[in-house]
C-alpha cells in the first residue's frame, strides 16, 4: 500500500513538469548616443531567452557578434576594440523574478528581476529591473529596459571619441517566449 501511494505521488509530481517558455529570436538593443553626434546604437535579433514559469527563473544569452549597427565601421570598432567579441563572444543574464507566480499570469503585469549580467568578461549584479510580462495565449511577451555604465564592464573609450559616446548605455529588450 505504501509503495502504491509513493508511486502515485511520484506520478502526480511528474504531472506538474516544469513549464518553460523559450525564444531564440529575442530582440536586444542598446544605445549610447550623444545628442548632435552620430547615433551609437545596435540591435541583436537572435537572442535566446528561457523562463521557468514554475519558479520565475530566467536566463538569456546574446551572441555579441549578432549586434548589428547601421554603420559598418562602427560595428567593426565595437567588435574589435570595445566588446572584443572574438575573446568574449557571449553576453549573458541570469536571474529570478520576484513575487512571481506563473499560474496567475494574465494580461499585462509588471514584475522586477534581480540577476547577474555578464559582458566583456565582467559580471555585475543588477537589481530591481522592471519587466512587463504580457500573456497572450501560449506566449509571454517580456519587455523592459535598464541602464548600465560602460565603465562597469572594463571597456575603455579612447579620449578622441569620448564625447561622442555616452557613458551610460540604455539597454532595451523584447522577448516573445513560446510555451515549450
Contact flags string 1-30 toward another protein, x per CB under 8 A: -----------------------xx-----
User: Which range touches another protein (CB under 8 A), out of 5-13, 44-52, 110-118, 162-170?
Assistant: 44-52
Given a contact cutoff of 8 angstroms between Cβ atoms, the answer to whether 164 and 5 are in contact is no
Q: Is 117 in the site for another protein (CB under 8 A)?
A: no
Q: Is 71 in the site for another protein (CB under 8 A)?
A: yes
What span, in angstroms and rounded, lies between the C-alpha atoms of 100 and 54?
A: 8
What span, in angstroms and rounded, lies between the C-alpha atoms of 40 and 69?
A: 8
**62 alpha carbon, distance to own chain's centre:** 8
Of 70, 92, 66, 61, nearest in space to 79 by CA: 66
Contact flags string 47-66 toward another protein, x per CB under 8 A: -x-x--------xxx-xxxx
Q: Is 143 in the site for another protein (CB under 8 A)?
A: no
Write down the residue that cell numbers 543588477 correspond to.
Answer: 126
Q: Which of 86, 123, 136, 163 binds another protein (CB under 8 A)?
A: 86
Q: Is 105 in the site for another protein (CB under 8 A)?
A: no
Amino acid at each position: 500500500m505504501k509503495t502504491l501511494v509513493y508511486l502515485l505521488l511520484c506520478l502526480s509530481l511528474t504531472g506538474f513538469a516544469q513549464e518553460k517558455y523559450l525564444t531564440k529570436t529575442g530582440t536586444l538593443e542598446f544605445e549610447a548616443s550623444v545628442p548632435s553626434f552620430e547615433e551609437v546604437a545596435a540591435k541583436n535579433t537572435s537572442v535566446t531567452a528561457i523562463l521557468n514559469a514554475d519558479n520565475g527563473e530566467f536566463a538569456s544569452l546574446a551572441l555579441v557578434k549578432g549586434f548589428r549597427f547601421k554603420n559598418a565601421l562602427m560595428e567593426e570598432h565595437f567588435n574589435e576594440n570595445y566588446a572584443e567579441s572574438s575573446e568574449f563572444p557571449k553576453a549573458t543574464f541570469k536571474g529570478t523574478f520576484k513575487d512571481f507566480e506563473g499560474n496567475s499570469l494574465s494580461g499585462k503585469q509588471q514584475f522586477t528581476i534581480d540577476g547577474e549580467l555578464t559582458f566583456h568578461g565582467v559580471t555585475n549584479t543588477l537589481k530591481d529591473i522592471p519587466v512587463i510580462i504580457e500573456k497572450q495565449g501560449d506566449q509571454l511577451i517580456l519587455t523592459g529596459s535598464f541602464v548600465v555604465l560602460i565603465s562597469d564592464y572594463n571597456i575603455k573609450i579612447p579620449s578622441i571619441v569620448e564625447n561622442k559616446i555616452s557613458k551610460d548605455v540604455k539597454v532595451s529588450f523584447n522577448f516573445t517566449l513560446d510555451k515549450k
